[in-house]
Amino acid sequence: MKTLKRLLLPSLISTTLAVSGMVSAGPLADLYQLALENDPQLKRAEAEFMAGQEAPIQGRAGLLPRAEFRANTSHNSERAANGARGSTGYTVSLSQPVFNANSYYNFKRSELIAENAATTFEQAEQQIIIRSVEAYLEVLRSMSTLDNALAQERALQRRLDQVNAQFEVGLIAITDVQEAQAAYDLAVVQRIDAEGSLSNRYEALERLAGQPFNDLAYLSSDFPVVAVEPNDPQPWISKALQDNLNLRLAETQTEILRRNAQSIRGNRLPEVSVGISHNNSRSHGAMNDSWQDNNTIQLSMSVPLFAGGGLSSQQRQAEHEQIASVHQSEDTRRAVIEGTRSLVRTLQTSAQGVKARQQSILSRETALRATEEGFNVGTRNVVDVLQAEQNLFEARQAYENARIDHINALFQFKQTIGTLSPDDLFALDEWLVD
């Protein structure tokens, strides 16, 4: 049953996600569905998963009976003493290992290889969720940057027109016009850079989807940016240590190498097998055709004594590889703890940061109005106004970036604790609006 579940895993996942995609038909869900159908990285992971499921079959074969059929025929140029010119015959044999430690531990290792392949495919399934969300959000980030750059360019164009008109009537100096022109020229450069960046982000979407993908919607302004609860990282660390896929892979790899070391040690042990064979042969051309027909039952044992030091070297190598894997697993465990704790802290600070940046926009809007009023009455110069406008546009962009960064961190957090699923992507999709 466990093997059947593994073999059906890719089709079960595809079916589940297809149904979910029908329920949630937003642009992010559409991108995700295209990625499932066309992404070569996921296709490769699925093929590697299916290849890994063959390992237990091959490992089990070393423990099962082996049947063999051999046939032969010969012809001599000269007659034998009895007049025979040749012979034909066949042998049918069946052998069954009785004791073979190497084959037994190889079989146990092959089961772990299949388990590792299933976990790796599950990891790839999670990774494509992350890649879909990140690729989509990076397009939104670039769209926001371009919108902000265009708005800034329009605002500075109006400002440049204003100071040119004031210069023509002698209200301001030429230096104010030059400052406004320099600010406008910089805004044009930023807009051009933003257009190029957006095109690059669309290319990344096309690579993921396997076709051009331009149907996007913006993230709703009402999207809730909140920290995870509880804010104590310890429960989340416990969850991650139980379900994190990277850690599971590392632990399984350690067990694979332990079984491999056992298998190599098994090469030093006796091998016992039982066999039965039937042999039939006939001489041709003899004065009296002769037949040989016999059955044999055999119990055999082989004990390795010396192999040039190769077995000892292989055993030492396997033991060192196992020790290295134990240390790698411990390092992965520590990385999971560190990453979980860091992501909990990041989500807490980013939730606070988004609120602070939202308030910063209001504050800088107020500061810009005050600076403009001061400029109109002559208490502030155009440089002050330009700086206030720049501060406002930077605050708006920082706010959008902070929201996107929070969502990326949230999905990374879910992946780290092992709970990431397509439902998380579809939930985000509900917050995308035209």
Helices (H) and strands (E) in the chain, counts: 11, 6
Q: Which two tokens stand for residue 347?
A: 């989500």
**Nearest partner of 60 among 97, 2, 7, 110, judged by Cα:** 110
Interval 324-353: pLDDT, tens: 999 999 999 999 999 999 999 999 999 999
Number of Cα atoms under 13 Å in the Cβ half of residue 288: 1
CA-to-CA distance for 124 and 41, rounded, in angstroms?
8
Number of Cα atoms under 13 Å in the Cβ half of residue 397: 20
426 Cβ partners below 8 Å, 6+ apart? 20, 23, 24, 26, 28, 29
Give residue 1's pLDDT.
Answer: 41
Give residue 69's pLDDT.
Answer: 93
Does the structure show a pLDDT above 60 at 80? no
Task: Out of 49-53, 80-84, 323-327, 347-351, pick the least confident.
Answer: 80-84
Does the structure show a pLDDT above 80 at 283? no
Give residue 203's pLDDT.
Answer: 96
Task: Out of 37-46, 91-100, 237-246, 290-299, pick the least confident.
Answer: 290-299
Element (H, E) at 216: none
For residues 165-188, average pLDDT: 90
**CB-based burial label for 258 (10 Å; 0-12, 13-18, 19+):** buried
Task: Out of 79-88, 144-153, 171-180, 307-316, pick the least confident.
Answer: 79-88
| Planar angle of CA 393, 394, 399, nearest 5 degrees | 100
Element (H, E) at 220: none
Give residue 378's pLDDT.
Answer: 84
Give residue 5's pLDDT.
Answer: 45
Give residue 12's pLDDT.
Answer: 43
Give residue 20's pLDDT.
Answer: 46
The answer to whether 280 and 150 have CB atoms below 8 angstroms apart is no
Give residue 377's pLDDT.
Answer: 85
Does the structure show a pLDDT above 90 at 84? no
Q: What is the mean pLDDT of the chain?
A: 89
**Nearest partner of 205 among 194, 219, 216, judged by Cα:** 216
Q: Which two tokens stand for residue 348?
A: 């807490």
Q: Token match 């969300």: residue?
A: 133
For residues 145-155, average pLDDT: 94
Q: Which two tokens stand for residue 314?
A: 């292989």
Does the structure show a pLDDT above 80 at 287? no
Q: Token match 């146990």: residue?
A: 108
Q: Which two tokens stand for residue 398?
A: 């920082």
SS3 280: strand
Dihedral of CA atoms 395, 400, 404, 405 in degrees, nearest 10, equals 0
309 Cβ partners below 8 Å, 6+ apart? none
CA-to-CA distance for 53 and 74, rounded, in angstroms?
44
Percentage above 70 pLDDT, the chain: 90
Burial 392-421 (b: 16+ CB within 10 A, else e): bbebbbbbbebbbbbbbbbbbbbbbbbebe
Give residue 141's pLDDT.
Answer: 96
CA-to-CA distance for 390 and 150, rounded, in angstroms?
13
CA-to-CA distance for 426 and 405, rounded, in angstroms?
18
Alpha helices, H only, 53-100: 55-61
The answer to whether 20 and 422 have CB atoms below 8 angstroms apart is yes
Give residue 288's pLDDT.
Answer: 57
**CB-based burial label for 305 (10 Å; 0-12, 13-18, 19+):** exposed
pTM, two decimal places: 0.86
Q: Which two tokens stand for residue 226?
A: 């909140």
Task: Out of 242-256, 284-298, 345-359, pick the least confident.
Answer: 284-298
Q: Which two tokens stand for residue 367?
A: 């500061």
Higher per-residue pLDDT: 2 or 132: 132
Interval 377-390: pLDDT, tens: 888 888 999 999 99
What is the band of 22 on the pLDDT scale with cuts at 50, 70, 90?
very low
Does the structure show a pLDDT above 50 at 30? yes
Give residue 332's pLDDT.
Answer: 97
Number of Cα atoms under 13 Å in the Cβ half of residue 383: 6
Give residue 293's pLDDT.
Answer: 86
Percentage above 90 pLDDT, the chain: 76
Interval 353-399: pLDDT, tens: 999 999 999 999 999 999 999 988 888 888 999 999 999 999 999 99
Choose the most confident range, by mean pLDDT, from 165-169, 198-202, 309-313, 383-387: 198-202
**Nearest partner of 422 among 90, 115, 122, judged by Cα:** 122
